[in-house]
Amino acid sequence: MTTNANAAGTWQLGDRTVNRLGYGAMRTMSRSDGTPSDRDQVIGVLRRAVELGVNHIDTAAFYFAGPRSANELINTALRPYPEDLVITTKVGPGRDSSGAFHQVTTKDGLRGQVEENLRQLGLDRLEVVNLRIGQGLDRGTDSLRDRFEALAELQQEGLIRHLGISNIGADHLKEAMAVAPVVCVQNQYGLTTRREDDALIELCAEHGVAFVPFFAIGASVPGASPFAPADETGTDVVAEVARAHDATPAQVRLAWTLHRGPNVLAIPGTGDPAHLEENVAAAGLRLTDEDLSRLDTIG
């Protein structure tokens, strides 16, 4: 029996309802060895994800590698978009033609990034835009107020429906909420990664804000490649829990993530059809209290 993404339950991103098991588009661009992805296969994966109930897709205009652009692939695969589909994108980081990253901080620069996402996705309004701060996975301590105010102005103009923030700490969340409503926080987080954000998840829940981990089943070292193999910390415990449920270790890590709270969403990404089916199946995996206690010993 095929599991639907709705098996994980739902959460509200503002006035939009999404299934808590979503999809991250970063891995649409390249294979694990860095070579360009198979275009037709990835388009098929995106369409299959929607068939399996995924209605929350995370992307960005700076998700490109060689001839592949995540936004273009999403546009080609899914437009005209299903009415219930929420595409979340992010601004802040930019990349030049060589692929080198830089930070975009000016009002005009952020507007340009929003307009670029609109153009690439073929939309008149972006459902959710996350302001991503810091360099790489270094969150930094700089104020985000001016940049978030710039996005709030674009929201007032009707170019953005809802706002979120990414790669942030608790003080950033409080600062942003003083400017405009925040519907989601997107941070690196997993069973053995950035567990200091356990408290941030609770803070988000108090304010009805979704917490959206990325790299939840990837490498645990902050700054590691998104294509790094799954984290090996606690491998034996994860494997034992997986065997007990006839599941894979990656599915256990995803299920653990979803068990962190009703406001926690998951956005695993893949360009492989079989891995997509496995990831969505994790939406229906129910860990016991004993499982969770054992897993927390390696966090």
CB burial string 212-229: b at 16+ within 10 A, e below: bbbbbbbbbeeebebeee
Non-local CB neighbours of 210 within 8 Å, separated by 6+ positions: 11, 12, 13, 164, 183, 184, 185, 204, 263, 264, 265
* Cross-strand pairs, 16: 13
pTM of the model: 0.93
Task: Give the mean pLDDT of 264-268.
Answer: 97
63 is catalytic: yes
Count H helices, E strands: the chain?
10, 13
Q: Which range (119-123, 135-139, 283-287) has the least confidence?
A: 135-139
Ordered domains of the chain (ranges, CATH) = 7-232+256-286 (3.20.20.100)
The catalytically annotated residue of 23, 63, 81, 189 is 63
pLDDT tens digits, 140-198: 788 999 999 999 999 999 999 999 999 999 999 999 999 999 999 999 999 988 999 99
Of the candidates 159, 152, 154, 157, the residue with the CA atom closest to the CA atom of residue 127: 159
Q: Is the pLDDT of residue 231 over 60?
A: no
Is 197 in contact with 187 (CB distance < 8 Å)? yes
Task: Give the mean pLDDT of 94-117.
Answer: 92
Q: Is the pLDDT of residue 236 over 50?
A: yes
| pLDDT at residue 234 in the model | 63
Instruction: Round the average pLDDT of the chain to a whole number and report it.
Output: 92
pLDDT tens digits, 40-94: 999 999 999 999 999 999 999 999 988 899 999 999 999 999 999 999 999 999 9
